[in-house]
Amino acid sequence: MIDPPPDLVIEIDVTSPSLPRFPIFAAVGVPEVWRYDGSRVQFFKLDGGQYVEVEHSLALPPLTDAVATGFLKDSEETKSTVWLRHVREWARQQNQSED
């Protein structure tokens, strides 16, 4: 039995870049990669064997790269309980707008 690839890989590029690993992710068939370089979040989707940058997550379609970057910046300046409440409120709003 062959295990399927993960739906999503999240790479944090603080000490070394993840871009050289993208061909490995593509070969395995990972459909989406999120990359954080210390200042912003980027989303990439697998398209024809290559990753292309996209604005919205495939796994979480309401989530944009700008919103994810904002969440990370806010997490540095906000108490964790307050930050988590804000993220939950955002998620509820997204869920309500889909109904």
Q: Is the pLDDT of residue 47 over 70?
A: yes
Task: Give, in order, the Cα–Cα distances in Å from 91 to each of 29, 41, 61, 63, 68.
Answer: 28, 18, 11, 9, 12
Q: Is the pLDDT of residue 3 over 90?
A: no
* Rounded-to-integer distance, Cα 68 and Cα 10, Å: 12
Domain extents for the chain?
A: 9-98
Identify the pLDDT of residue 2: 82
Residue 9, H or E segment: strand 9-12
Per-residue model confidence as pLDDT tens digits over 49-73: 999 999 999 999 999 999 999 999 9
Identify the pLDDT of residue 14: 79
pTM for the structure as a whole: 0.87
Instruction: Map residue 6 onto helix, strand or coil.
Output: coil
